[in-house]
């Protein structure tokens, strides 16, 4: 099978380029894209990419696979190969450090901006802050985000304004803390989001929903944030 | 919070809500005007002038013109900050963005004044 991989080493290459590999895929097996990258690494040890858990939990190997963002470790070849060719590029919109490794500083900066931790100034109870099963249920579909950046780097609004628009991943997390019954900083969190960029750059095109490897729905969370902003302001 | 001085209200929520409310006004105006044209085939100038002589039609048209001003300003401001920013044009992008915003505003403002002149036959 032909595999075309984005290559760029800033120390030796003037420009990025696509390198073609021929890989022998074992018969009757539907390998994951990460397995193919590992086979390529045997051919060319200089090929650079991130990977860690290899089971869709750590979020390290987010890549553009056949033009669609996804995690290499849980994307089977049968979903990724088009015309007997596999095309692998780094996540779009972020600066490339080398080959398939991107600089995620802007992505993390936006995550940091939404204060991704519980804020509660009331005295802590002796054991724990209890939450009813109903309140806990509100966090389902939000807490599962693994920060792989597949969604934010598939979002044109994040491509244009990654320094100002929080992006789908950050906003999913923002809603995760807005929805948490144990958090008491709702007003402060909403006030931080009421500018023309942080939330309202979302156009609802739902690329984020299409690519999320965990099947989450950032667009819905953004809709909830808008509703909360609307309710608190009217 | 990201600060801005050139968008309509400095609040993303207010701009967002206003864009939706003005869209409803513009939608209703378009449907009514289209309905009038369909129901009056072979329309004469006198009929057309009579329609716009009614106070309610003038109020509705002025509301539609102001809605276009607000709706298009929010939209054009958004487009200018999406495509004419530092990422696309470097640190001097403001030299492109700000003139584009001024041209858009002058054009939209002119449409409203021009519309008022036509409506009241000034």
Q: Closest to B12 (Cβ–Cβ): which among A157, A160, A195?
A: A195
Contact call for residues B68 and B108 (beta carbons, < 8 A): yes
Chain B CB within 8 Å of residue A108 CB: no
pLDDT digits (tens, 9 = 90+) for A191-222: 999 999 999 999 999 999 999 999 999 999 99
CA distance A67 to A83: 13
Mean residue pLDDT across chain A: 95
- Tell the residue number behind the tokens 């073609």, with chain if given: A20
Q: In terms of Cα–Cα distance, which of A31, A81, A220 is closest to A142?
A: A220
CA distance A196 to A203: 12
* CATH code of the region A105-233: 1.10.1060.10
Query: DSSP state, A5?
Result: E
* CATH code of the region A2-102: 3.10.20.30
- Say whether pLDDT at B69 is over 90: yes
Chain B CB within 8 Å of residue A233 CB: yes
- The residue of chain A with its CA nearest to that of B89 is A160
Q: What is the pTM of this model?
A: 0.90
Give the domain ranges of chain B.
12-120
- Say whether pLDDT at B7 is over 80: no
CA distance B71 to B80: 14
Q: Closest to B15 (Cβ–Cβ): which among A191, A193, A200?
A: A200
Domain B12-120 has CATH 1.20.1300.10: yes
Give the domain ranges of chain A.
2-102, 105-233
CA distance B56 to B62: 10
pLDDT of B2 reads 67
């Amino acid at each position: 099978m032909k595999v075309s991989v984005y290559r760029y080493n800033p120390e030796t290459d003037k420009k990025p380029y696509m390198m073609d590999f021929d890989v022998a895929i074992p018969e009757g097996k539907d390998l994951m894209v990460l397995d193919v990258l590992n086979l390529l690494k045997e051919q060319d040890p200089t090929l650079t990419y991130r990977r860690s858990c290899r089971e869709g939990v750590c979020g390290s190997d987010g890549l553009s696979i056949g033009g669609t963002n996804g995690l290499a470790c849980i994307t089977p070849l049968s979903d990724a190969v088009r015309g007997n060719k596999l095309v692998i590029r780094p996540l779009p919109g972020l600066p490339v450090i080398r080959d398939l490794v991107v600089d995620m500083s802007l992505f993390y900066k936006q995550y940091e901006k939404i204060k991704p931790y519980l804020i509660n100034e009331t005295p802590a109870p002796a054991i724990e802050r209890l939450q009813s099963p109903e309140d806990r249920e509100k966090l389902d579909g939000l807490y599962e985000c693994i920060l792989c950046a597949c969604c934010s780097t598939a979002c044109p609004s994040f491509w244009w304004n990654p320094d100002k628009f929080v992006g789908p991943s950050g906003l999913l997390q923002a809603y995760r803390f807005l929805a948490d019954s144990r958090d008491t900083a709702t007003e402060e969190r909403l006030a931080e989001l009421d500018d023309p960029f942080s939330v309202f750059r979302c156009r609802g095109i739902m690329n984020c929903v299409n690519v999320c490897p965990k099947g989450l729905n950032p667009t819905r969370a953004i809709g909830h944030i808008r509703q909360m902003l609307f309710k608190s302001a009217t | 919070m990201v600060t801005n001085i050139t968008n309509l209200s400095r609040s993303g929520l207010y701009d967002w809500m206003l864009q939706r409310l003005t869209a409803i006004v513009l939608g209703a105006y378009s449907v009514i005007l289209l309905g009038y044209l369909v129901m009056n085939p072979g329309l004469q100038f006198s009929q057309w002038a009579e329609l716009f002589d009614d106070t309610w039609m003038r109020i509705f048209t002025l509301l539609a013109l102001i809605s276009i001003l607000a709706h298009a300003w929010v939209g054009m401001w958004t487009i200018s900050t999406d495509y004419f920013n530092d990422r696309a044009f470097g640190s001097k992008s403001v030299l492109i963005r700000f003139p584009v915003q001024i041209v858009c505003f002058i054009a939209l403002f002119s449409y409203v004044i021009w519309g008022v002149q036509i409506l009241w036959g000034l």
